[in-house]
Amino acid sequence: MKPAFGRVALVGRYQSEGIGETLLAIVDFLIERGIEVLVETDTAETVNANGFSRASITEIGERADLAIALGGDGTMLGLARAIAHYQVPLVGINHGRLGFVTDIPLDQWRSALGQILDGGYTSEDRSMLIARVMRGDEEVWHHVAMNDVVVSRSSRAGMIELQVHVDDTYMYNQRADGLIVATPTGSTAYALSANGPILHPRLAGVVMVPVAPQALSNRPIALPDDARIRIRVVEGREPRVAGDMQVFSDLQIGDDILVERAPYKAHFLHPSGYSYFSTLRSKLNWHELPILSRP
């Protein structure tokens, strides 16, 4: 019987020590199942094996039936940003630390991947953001984000002042270290460390979270996912904008950062039995009882 995923691509965090051995094992596993294997060009440099073709990220998006990210959450985020618009399903195997979106543990990849290839999986769509920086009438930066868009001060400067409009309606001016606009996926990343709420991935919304605001009454707020957000840099030295805390651009006073929902979503596959709440329990240690101090 023809496999559901006849051509599978592998993208690994090739800088990681020991990743080559796992990559080779996955390549052999796929080939034994009669699956054509594509290995991302830079990832392929780390391994020496026969039976697979090297492919650029663009070629993976155009040709693959399934893409596997082997690494940490950063690897999965980068892959999602690059190929989500091709609607290629994504699977994450955790070869990093936390693993919120690379949800398959490294020691379970064989059984989990086998289950997915046999059709035993659940699928999940994750919303994404598009951010643009406008300097007058000129677009000077454009980026897709899976987790969040962050406008912040330089680590060497004081607070910045930002003016925020939502759907062309004035919201507020605030002085803070920064402002985070996060998807439900990104609500468990930087936004969570800034005391933002956790949004379930199926929730159609975004969360806007101030970072160390001067006014303590300035709190996180959840917005509809079709909201159009405009953040203007009013004052501050060395402001900058970041997408997923991986791609950065310097800003100038008067720049407008426009953030809105991307017209496509990332398509994640999980082994059958996957539970978002199980991930939260594991990664946030919800299963541990509090330690009570003794008198």
| Residue among 42, 73, 137, 256 flagged as catalytic | 73
Q: Exposed, middle or buried: residue 198 (CB in 10 Å: 0-12, 13-18, 19+)?
A: middle
H-only helix segments in the chain: 19-32, 41-44, 57-63, 73-83, 109-117, 190-193, 276-283
Q: Are 14 and 42 in contact (CB under 8 A)?
A: yes
Q: Is 256 a catalytic residue?
A: no
Query: What are the residues whose beta carbons fall under 8 Å from the beta carbon of 194, sequence distance 6 or more?
Result: 180, 209, 210, 211, 212, 220
User: Taking Cα atoms as reference points, which of 151, 187, 159, 154 lies closest to residue 280?
Assistant: 187
Asked whether the beta carbons of 37 and 98 are under 8 A apart, the reply is no
The rounded distance, in Å, linking the Cα atoms of 99 and 105 is 8
In angstroms, rounded to a whole number, what is the distance separating the alpha carbons of residues 176 and 210? 7
Q: How many residues does the chain have?
A: 295
Task: Give the strand order in the sheet containing 160-166.
Answer: 138-145, 129-135, 256-261, 229-235, 160-166, 169-176
Helix (H) or strand (E) segment spanning residue 205: strand 205-211
Q: Give, as one character, the DSSP assignment of residue 126.
A: E
Active site residues: 73
